[in-house]
Structure 1
Amino acid sequence: MRFKKASALVTLATAVTLLAAGCSSSKNNTPSTGGSSSSTDNSGAQPASKIKPVTMTGDCAAYGKYGKYSGATVTMYASITDPEGGYLQQSWKQFETCTGITIQYTGDKEFETAIKTKVEGGNAPDIAIIPQPGLLQTFASAGKLKPASQAVTDEAKANWVKDWISYGSFDGVFFGAPMGANLKSLVWYSPKMFAKAGYSIPKTWDEMVALSDKIAATGQKPWCAGIESGTATGWTATDWMEEVMLRMYGPDVYDQWVQHKIPFNDQKVQDVLAAVGKIWKNPKYVNAGIGDVQSIATTAFAKAGLPIEKQKCWLHQQANFYGANWDKGYTIGPKSTDDIYAFYEPPMNTNFGNPIEGGGEFVGAFTDTAQVEAVQLYLASGEWATSRAKIHPGWISANQKVDKTVFTDPVDALSVGILTDPKATFRFDGSDAMPSAVGAGSFWSEMTKWIQGQSDKATLDNIEKSWPAS
C-alpha cells in the first residue's frame, strides 16, 4: 500500500480520540506515542508460545515452525483495500497451504472508525492491521489487545530496530510487530539536471541550503511545493516541521513536542518554524514552475513536484509514495541520464545520527489462539516481507531480514536501505500521534494560514491554544 496521509487521517485521529474516551483500564489510559516514551524492556512480560512446530517437507519445509492446523480460520481486518488488498492476500497463500490456516481477510476504507465499534461491541477480528501506533496503544491500554507471545516478540526484535519495536509497545509490553512502512525523509530531484549543471547531492542541511542559494543566484527557483489536499490541506507542511524538529533538536525533544511536554509555542518550536520559513517563505526559493510563495497553499500535493519533469524545479521534499504521481515516460533512477530520483533529506546535527520520519502498520491480535500466533509470527518474518515485496511493486518494509534484491524500483530500494540502516533514528509521523484537534486539525489549518502570510507567533500560539486540556 502506498500510504497517503491525506486520505485517512481525519477518520483515524477521530477514532483514536473516541477510543480513548470510551475505553477504561486500571493502567494509565493515555496511549504512549512510542519512541523514548515507550519502554521495550518487556522481559518476562510476554506469554509463552502456543505453537507446536511440526516437520514438513518439500515446498512446505520452511513452514513447519508455524505448526499444522486442520480447517482453522483466522479473521483479519484492515484498511487495505484492492488492489493492495489483493496483493496482501496473495502474499500468504503458501503459508495457508502449508499450515492449513485460512486467513479470512476484510479490507475496509472505514476501518479507522469501524474497528472501534467492532471491538466495543464484542465483535473484534482475530487480527487487525493497525496503521497508527496511537490506535494500537489505545487498544492495549484498555485491555482489549492481547500481548504478543514471546516467540512473536523475539522474531520482531530480531527483525526490526528498537525505534520500531517501541511503537508496537505499551507500558513495557510488546503487542504488535511492524509490517509495511513508508519513508518521508526524501528530496526528489532530476539527476539529468544535476549532471548538466555540475551539482552534487548535498550531504548536510547546510550543503542543501548552499545548493539552493547557488541555484537561486542563477535566477531560477530551486524548490517546488504544495499543501492543498482537500479537507487535509496543510499536512505536507506539518511533515516539514517534523523533519526539521527531528534534525535540529533530535529524537528526545521530538518526543517531548509530540507529547506536549513542551508547549507548541516553545522557543525550540519557534526555531523550527523559522528554519522551515527560510525555505518555504523565501521568494527566491519557491514556488518553482508554479508561482509565488502563497501558491503553495493552492497547489495540490500530488502535483507539487511535477515541475521537475519539465526541468522547471530542482528540489521537492516528499515521501517515497510520491513516486505514484510521476507521469509516464520519465525514467526513474540515479544515473546522470535519468529524469527523476531522490536523495536522503540530509541531517542538521551530527549528534543525532541519521534521523528519518515515516509511517507504517502494526499487526495486533484480539484473540490468543495458536493459529493467531502463527499468523502473527509469519507476518513478523523476513520471509513474509520478501514474499509481499515480490508481488507488490511500490510496497516497502523496514524489516531487517527482507531480501533487498526484490525491490526493483530504484526509489523503493533506496527507501528500504535508509529505513533498515542500523545508524538511523526513526520517528513516526508526529502529527499522527498528536490529539486529533491538533494533528489533524489546527496544525494543518494554521500551517496553511502561515503560508498565506500569518506570522510565526500567531501560528504557533493558535496551535498551542487548540491543544486539548486533557
Structure 2
Amino acid sequence: MMRRRTTLLTSCTALALALGATACGGGPVSAGGGDKTLSGQTVTVAGVWSGSEQKNFQKVLDAFTAKTGAKTQFVSTGDNVSTVVGSKIEGGNAPDVVMVPQVGVLEQFAKKGWLKPLSPTAQATITADYAPVWKKYGSVEGTLYGLYFKAAHKSTVWYSPAALAQAGVKPPKTYDEMLKDGHTVSDSGLAAFAVGGEDGWTLTDWFENIYLSQAGPQKYDALATHRLRWTDASVVRALTTLGKLFKDKQLLAGGQKEALNTDFPTSVEKVFGPKPEAGMVYEGDFVAGVAHDQFGRTIGKDANFFPFPSVDGGTAPVVSGGDAAVVLKDGKNATAGMKLLEYLATPEAAAVWAKAGGFLSANRKLDLASYGDDVTRATAKSLIDAGDSVRFDMSDQAPAAFGGTKGAGEWKLLQDFLRDPSDPKGTAAQLESAAAKAYQN
C-alpha cells in the first residue's frame, strides 16, 4: 500500500549532496539457498500491495524462485491487513509470510502469538546491514520478528516544475513560505495542493510532519506511544496549523469537499495527469512511481520534490516507515517462508525492486546505482544517512483500531477535521478518546 512512515534530516542540501553518489559499500550477500533445495515447495505471501507495487514485488519473488526452486503465491489483503490475516488464521488458511505495513499491527500479531522469531541467519544480516532502529521497530519485547524490506520517505512534497516556474516561485524552506507560495501558484491559474482526503492515512501524514517539526522529536515519541495525551497543547497547535491549509479554498484543489472525495492516486493525477488542476501534492517517495508509471512523467524533469519544510522554526521533518516481512507460525510452509525472509534481507533482493522503481531500501549494503534515477538515489541515500535518527510514522505505531483502520480512529477524525477545521481543541479531545480506547484493548 502507498504509505507512510520518521527520520530527522535537515534540508535539500543532504539530498543534493547525494546526487551522483553510487554506492553504500559492500557487495551482494547470498541467502535463501541457491541450490534449488526448496524445489516443489510453495510459499504464500500476503500484503497490502496491488497494481505496480504488486507486479514489482512479484519480480523479487520470481528471483527467489530462480534461486531456491520454491514457488510463491501472493495474496493482496487491502488496507485491513490484521482483519484479513486474522480471518485466514482462524479458517486454517494462514499465509506463510505477511508484509506488515504498520508497527502497531506487527506488535499486535506478536502479542497474539502468531509470529515466529526470525532465524539466526536473518537476525545476523539485519544486525550487520541495517541501522539499529530498524531492528528496534521489528522487535516486540526484545524478540526480533520483522524485517523492514520496503521503506518509505514520507516528507517529500512533489511538484510540477512547470507549474512553479509559471508562478515564478522556487521550492520553499519553511511551512509559511510554502503556503505563501501556494497562493502565488493559485493566482497563476492552478490550485496549490491536491489532497487525497478520501484516504485518511494521507491526512495523518500531514499532521505528523507538522507535529514532528513543530513539537520536536521527544513529544513526537511520547504521543506515538500515548505517553502524551492528544489533548496536549502541542497537538492543538499542530491541528490549528493544519487547519489553516484545510480551510483555505485557494490552496486546496476543489476545496474541502473535493479533497474528501479524492483518493491518493487521483491526488497525484491532479498534479501530473493530462489535465493538471494543482501544482503540488504532498506524500511519500512513492508519488514518483505513480507519476511515472501512470502518467509518463520523467522524474527530475516533469516531476520533482522538495523536503517537507520546517514549521515555526523547528527542524525540517522526515517521516519514514515501511513494510515488514514476518513469518506466521500457522503457515503451512513456515520453514520455506523463513528462507524467503532471509533472502529479502539481502541487498540482492532489494536490488531487484530498486531497478524496477517505486522502492526504497534501508539496507546499507544496497548499491545506490541499483536505483534508476538521481532523485530516487538521493532520497534513498538520505534515508540511509539518517541512520538511527529514523522515527516511524506515528499512526503506524498505534494500535490498528486507532491509527490504521478505514472509517475509524485517527483516519476518520482527521477526515472530519478536513471537512470542518474550526475546532482544533474539540478534534484533539475526540482523538484522545479514540486513542485511549484503542490502547486499552
Q: Bin the TM-score by the shorter chain.
A: 0.7 to 0.9
Secondary structure in 2 matching 1:438: helix
Q: Contact between 1:185 and 1:345, CA under 8 Å: does it hold in 2?
A: yes
Name the residue aligned to 1:364.
327
Of 232, 252, 273, the residue aligned with 1:266 is 232
Give the counterpart letter for 1:450 in structure 2: F
Structure 1 residues 119 and 298, CA gap change in structure 2 (3 angstroms)? closer
Provide TM-score, normalisation by structure 1.
0.72
> Partner residue of 1:460?
428
Q: C-alpha separation between the residues in 1 aligned to 2:38 and 2:196?
A: 51
- 1:138 matched to 2:108: yes
- Cα deviations across residues 72-128 of structure 1 (Å, max 9, x unaligned)? 6352321245765454343254544444x4144342436543422444566544433
1:376 Cα shift? Answer: 2.2
Residue 162 of structure 1 aligns with which residue?
Answer: 132
Question: C-alpha offsets along residues 431-458 of structure 1, whole Å, 9 cap, x if unaligned?
Answer: 3333444333142333233233341122
Change in Cα spacing, 1:102 to 1:254, as seen in structure 2 (3 Å) is: same
Query: Mapping of 1:305-324 within 5 angstroms?
Result: 305-309=268-272, 313-323=278-288
Match of 1:150 among 115, 120, 129: 120
The one of the two structures with greater contact order (alpha-carbon pairs below 8 A, sep at least 6) is 2
CA contact (8 A) 2:134 2:148 kept: yes
Contact 1:155–1:381 under 8 Å retained in 2: yes
The offset of 1:462, in angstroms, is: 2.1
Write the deviation string for residues 114-161 of structure 1: whole angstroms up to 9, x where unpaired: 422444566544433323222222232233322223331221133322
Distance 2:278 2:254 in 1: 11
- The question of 1:296 aligning with 2:259 is answered yes
Say how many residue pairs are matched: 405
Residue 209 of structure 2 corresponds to 243
- For 1:191, the equivalent position in structure 2 comes to 161
**In the superposition, relative to structure 1, how do residues 443 and 364 fare at CA in structure 2: closer, same or farther (>3 Å)?**
same
**Alpha-carbon spacing, 1:430–1:210, altered in 2? closer, same or farther (3 Å):** same
Change (3 A) 1:456 1:371: closer
The 3-state SS of whatever aligns with 2:230 is coil
Q: Which residue of 2 aligns with 1:446?
A: 413
Correspondence for 1:380: 345
Q: What residue number does 2:10 align with?
A: none
Which 5+ residue runs of structure 1 have no aligned equivalent? 7-32, 36-60
Q: Distance between the aligned counterparts of 1:93 and 1:308, measured in 2? A: 34
Please name the residue that 1:105 is paired with. 73
SS state of the match for residue 320, structure 1? coil
**Which among 2, 11, 26 is matched to residue 4 of structure 1?**
2
Residue in structure 2 matched with residue 54 of structure 1 by the alignment: none
Amino acid at match of 1:223: A
Please tell me the root mean square deviation across aligned C-alpha atoms, in Å. Answer: 3.7
Does structure 1 residue 419 correspond to structure 2 residue 375? no
Contact 1:297 1:451 in 2 (8 A): yes
1:306 deviates by 4.2
Q: Could you tell me how far apart the structure 2 residues matched to 1:286 and 1:351 are?
A: 23
CA contact (8 A) 2:6 2:321 kept: no
Gaps of 5+ in 2: 8-27
* Mapped contact 2:100–2:326 kept (Cα < 8 A): yes
Per the TM alignment, residue 257 of structure 1 is displaced from its structure 2 partner at its CA by 1.5
> 2:195 aligned with 1:226, yes or no?
yes
Q: Is contact 2:260–2:415 with CA below 8 Å preserved after alignment?
A: yes
| Distance (Å, rounded) in 1 between the aligned partners of 2:177 and 2:387 | 21
Change (3 A) 1:144 1:316: closer
Tell me: CA distance 1:455–1:363, structure 2 relative to 1, closer, same or farther (3 Å): same
CA contact under 8 A between 1:303 and 1:325: conserved in structure 2?
no
Aligned CA distance change for structure 1 residues 90 and 187 (closer, same or farther; 3 Å): closer
Alignment-mate amino acid for residue 150 of structure 2: G
Deviation at 1:351? Answer: 7.3
Structure with larger Rg: 1
Tell which deviates more after alignment, 354-363 or 256-265.
Answer: 354-363
Distance 1:372 1:312, change over 3 A: closer
CA distances 1:38-93 after superposition (whole Å, capped 9, x unpaired): xxxxxxxxxxxxxxxxxxxxxxx974884753646352321245765454343254
* Contact 1:355–1:425 under 8 Å retained in 2: no
Determine helix, strand or coil for the equivalent of 2:319: strand
- Partners of 1:299 and 1:125 lie apart in 2 by 33
- Following superposition, the deviation at residue 246 of structure 1 comes to 1.8
Q: Which residue of 2 aligns with 1:76?
A: 44
Q: Give how far 1:170 is off.
A: 0.7
